[in-house]
Amino acid sequence: MAKYESLQNYLAARPEQMSRVTMSFDEVEALVGSLPPSARDHRAWWANDSKVQAQAWRAAGWRVESVDQRAGRVVFTRSIVGDSHPIARNPRPSRAVPAPQSIMVSTSSVEDGMPEARAQAMLVTYLVGQGWRIQRVADTTTKEQGIDVLATRGDRTLAVEVKGYPGRRYSDPRRAGETKPTAPATQARHWYAQAILKAML
């Protein structure tokens, strides 16, 4: 991800109130050097997947919303819409970032739960603050398969399965206002059991 680290740092440094950034390909190249021809020819190059360039903007808490390859322009948006905890907002904090347990407490967590994307974002922020290099961040909104967070520090590699905590209501807008029949604690036990099984396997 070294080639695109300056893009990651640029996006991570955008003010919190900024939810969208439009950049020309020339502006991106001013940060990272020459883009490969596929960036100008194929929309898939800008996909929010596990490719090295996507890892850079996703680790900064952003995603590609749209690309106009004829105009040579890309639009980035905050990856967690309406959330105040984007991934790695400041990739190199000057002080240690609090452990995830201390920043996951929220007055809205009982009703709204802890969405997996938010848990993943806070984890990545913490790891970056502790000197880990993020190699991969899975797109939880599309239920992307594979390791949720892959990070390295020195000769150590960390592979993380991320689980959120369910809320009492459905996140699906079509079922907004409905209360889930299963208690959040029961549902959470199933999720965590899956994570433990995956770790054992």
Query: Across residues 66-79, what is the average pLDDT?
Result: 92
In this structure, of 53-62, 128-137, 146-155, the range with the lowest mean pLDDT score is: 128-137
**Is it the case that residue 17 has pLDDT exceeding 70?**
yes
Q: At 38, is the pLDDT very low, low, confident or very high (cuts 50, 70, 90)?
A: very high
**pTM (2 decimals)?**
0.44
* Residue pLDDT, tens place only, 174-195: 777 777 777 777 877 877 787 7
Q: When comparing pLDDT for 154 and 141, which is higher?
A: 154
Torsion of CA 27, 62, 151, 133, to 10 degrees: 40
> Which three-class secondary structure state does DSSP give residue 151?
strand
User: Who contacts 123 (Cβ-Cβ below 8 Å, separation ≥6)?
Assistant: 100, 149, 160, 162
Joined together, the tokens standing for residue 150 give: 């892959």
- pLDDT at position 110 is 46
Taking the mean position of all CA atoms in its chain, how far away is CA 142?
12
Is it the case that residue 115 has pLDDT exceeding 80? Answer: no
Residue 105 has pLDDT above 70, yes or no: no
- Say what the alpha-carbon torsion angle 189, 191, 197, 201 is, to the nearest 10 degrees: -170
Sheet holding 62-68, edge to edge: 20-24, 73-78, 62-68
Q: What is the mean pLDDT of the chain?
A: 77
Phi, psi of 108 (to 5 degrees): -95, 0
* Residue 105 or 140, more confident: 140
Q: Which residues of 178-196 are buried (b: 16+ CB within 10 A; e: fewer)?
A: eeeeeebeeebeeeeeeee
Give the separation between CA 55 and CA 138, rounded to whole angstroms. 9
Q: How far apart are CA 14 and CA 179, in angstroms?
A: 37
Reduce the DSSP state of residue 2 to 3 states and report it.
helix
Q: Which helix (H) or strand (E) holds 132?
A: none
Q: What is the DSSP string of 49-103?
A: SSSHHHHHHHHTTEEEEEEETTTTEEEEEESSTT-S--TTSSSS-SSPPPPHHHH
pLDDT tens-place string over residues 139-149: 766 667 778 88
